[in-house]
């Protein structure tokens, strides 16, 4: 029986593999689907600036902390806190991450399923000649359909599980290494088309020209939640991946590279979407369906659009897949090591229980459309709880752990690979980890929960 043996731990085989897997996790629907619509609902250019501020100030330090915690402990996210802080309550942070994996994957697999449906539609040339109204009607008809979105969600979960079962090196690393470079090229192509549409400059202006009066405290919270979501931080995903990184990898430079790639791709997604939004006369605050109506519209107006639509929806599905595997891996790694069960068994248990929750998220666009909790659909609630509560507080607790519990000496030892490499920025970054980032997260979280009500 292939039960857990620490000396036989799976891991990434190369530096490029680490980057590909971590960028694969970070770049996903969060960049291409969520970032444009959240930015569109929260003030465009001004939102972007706040977002980038959070990536630098909070995102990168939390990412480094997660990698350092994971690699030091050589354990899954729950086990990592048990190893590094025995007999303390810190392992609850790991538990919170596992809960976040459930809530994220549940709603994420709904949207991932949609991307596969749109891939199939692109192959069948279903967008051709349609007005934006017709494309809107098509999207609602599909997303509220009794079983089609559920089938695609299931297909997606099965694919995710298959790669996770194959393992870290032979599954996750192998696929992300091929798929991520391809994605970047295609995004660039669609960007070029979008910015050459008539009236594209209105969209660029919306994205890059900050209008500060559109910013509310809530949009600041949304920017923080989106930054955490997009970087895959705050739930131990990168603790888990960190535990697979070899001891000679430079965790600081890896974090910078992953965060930069993720941010550039989010901005490019904005460049891809907003010019088209304005060119076709949409409102930027259309919500979750934005990408599924605007992009088909671009494709049917561009030369070779048929082919680009297929490639694009293939790649967005792939971007989603390289993220879903990282979320599932959080739960699987924990099940393997904590319950001492095989990878296959752990994956099957985790994936099937998450799918059950995911069905409710999908149905909330149709059959369960009237069912609301706290004024939100099941989908909306899972999305809100994930990004704005679990990831935000998770990021806070993780960075407090790295700064105050792991201790400066241990942290220094980990990020200098036992003193073998120099980290000239260590002092500055550790100061941010100890003071600046936790205060900033704490302030935003507390302020947006309480002060918005008072105003």
List contacts with ligand PHE (CB under 6 A): 25-26, 28-31, 104, 229-230, 232, 235, 237, 323, 326-327
Q: Specify the residue for token string 């949409």.
A: 282
* 115/249 with CB nearer ligand PHE: 115
The nearest distance, CB 425 to ligand PHE, in angstroms, is 25
CB of 369 to ligand PHE, least distance (A): 25
Nearest to 177 by CA among 21, 28, 314: 21
| CA distance between the termini of the chain | 60
| Contacts (Cβ under 8 Å, ≥6 apart) of 178 | none
Q: Which two tokens stand for residue 231?
A: 């970087």
266 contacts: CB under 8 Å, gap ≥ 6? 30, 31, 35, 51, 230
433 within 8 A of 399, measured Cβ to Cβ: yes
Burial class (CB in 10 A: 0-12, 13-18, 19+), 114: buried
Give CA–CA dist 181/199, Å, rounded. 30
Q: Is 76 in contact with 240 (CB distance < 8 Å)?
A: yes
Name the minimum Å distance from CB 431 to ligand PHE.
26
Using DSSP, state whether 373 is helix, strand or coil. strand
**Least distance to ligand PHE from the beta carbon of 201, Å?**
28
Nearer to ligand PHE, 79 or 234 (CB): 234
233 with 392: CB under 8 angstroms?
Answer: no
Please identify, using beta-carbon distances, which residue of 77 and 364 lies nearer to ligand PHE: 77
Helix axes 174-195 and 251-279, enclosed angle (nearest 10): 40
Q: Least Å distance between CB 164 and ligand PHE?
A: 13
The answer to whether 66 and 437 have CB atoms below 8 angstroms apart is no
* CA 44/CA 16 separation, integer angstroms: 33
Considering beta carbons, is residue 135 or 397 the nearer one to ligand PHE?
397
Closer to ligand PHE by CB, 107 or 152: give it: 107
Ramachandran category for residue 125: left, alpha or beta (phi over 0 → left; psi -120 to 50 → alpha): left
Smallest distance, Å, CB 391 to ligand PHE?
7
- In the bound state, the residue with its beta carbon closest to ligand PHE is 30
Angle at 291 between CA 172 and CA 148, to 5 degrees: 70
DSSP 45-74: HHHHHHHHHHIIIIIHHHHHHHHHHHHHHT
How crowded is the C-beta side of 211, counted as CA atoms within 13 Å?
11
**Nearest distance from residue 66's CB to ligand PHE, in Å?**
11
Collapsing DSSP states into helix, strand and coil, what is residue 130? coil
- Closest contact distance (angstroms) between CB of 4 and ligand PHE is 23
């Amino acid at each position: 029986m292939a039960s857990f043996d620490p000396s036989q731990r799976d891991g990434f085989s190369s530096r490029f593999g680490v980057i590909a897997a971590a960028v694969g996790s970070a770049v996903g629907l969060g960049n291409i689907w969520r970032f444009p619509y959240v930015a569109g609902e929260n003030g465009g250019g001004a939102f972007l600036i706040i977002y980038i501020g959070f990536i630098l100030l909070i995102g990168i330090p939390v990412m480094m902390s997660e990698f350092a915690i994971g690699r030091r402990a050589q354990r899954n996210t729950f086990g990592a806190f048990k190893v590094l802080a025995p007999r303390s309550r810190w392992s609850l942070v790991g538990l919170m991450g596992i809960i976040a994996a459930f809530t994220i994957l549940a709603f994420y697999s709904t949207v991932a399923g949609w991307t596969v449906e749109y891939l199939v539609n692109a192959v069948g040339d279903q967008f051709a000649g349609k007005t934006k109204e017709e494309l809107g009607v098509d999207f609602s008809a599909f997303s509220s359909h009794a079983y089609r979105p559920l089938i695609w969600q299931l297909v997606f979960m099965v694919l995710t599980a298959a790669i996770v079962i194959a393992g870290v090196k032979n599954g996750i690393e192998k696929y992300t290494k091929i798929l991520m470079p391809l994605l970047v090229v295609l995004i660039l192509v669609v960007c070029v088309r979008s910015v050459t549409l008539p009236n594209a400059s209105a969209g660029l202006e919306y994205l890059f020209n900050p209008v500060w009066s559109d910013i509310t405290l809530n949009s600041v919270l949304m920017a923080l939640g989106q930054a955490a979501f997009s970087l895959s931080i705050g739930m131990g995903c990168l603790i888990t991946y960190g535990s697979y990184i070899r001891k000679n990898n430079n965790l600081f430079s890896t974090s910078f590279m992953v965060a930069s790639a993720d941010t550039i791709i989010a901005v490019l997604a904005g460049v891809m979407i907003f010019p088209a939004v304005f060119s076709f006369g949409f409102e930027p605050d259309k919500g979750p369906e934005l990408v599924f109506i605007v992009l088909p519209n671009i494709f049917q107006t561009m030369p070779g659009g048929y082919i680009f639509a297929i490639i694009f929806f293939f790649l967005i599905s792939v971007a989603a897949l390289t993220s879903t595997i990282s979320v599932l891996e959080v739960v699987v790694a924990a099940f393997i090591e904590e319950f001492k069960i095989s990878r296959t068994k752990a994956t099957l248990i985790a994936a099937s229980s998450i799918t059950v929750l995911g069905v409710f998220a999908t149905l909330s666009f149709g059959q369960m459309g009237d069912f609301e909790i706290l004024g939100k659909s099941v989908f909306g609630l899972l999305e809100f709880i994930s990004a704005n509560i679990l990831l935000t507080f998770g990021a806070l607790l993780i960075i407090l752990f790295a700064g105050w519990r792991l201790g400066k000496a241990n942290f220094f030892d980990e990020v200098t690979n036992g003193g073998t490499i120099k980290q000239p920025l260590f002092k500055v970054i550790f100061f941010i980890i100890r003071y600046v980032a936790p205060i900033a997260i704490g302030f935003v979280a507390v302020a947006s929960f309480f002060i918005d009500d008072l105003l």
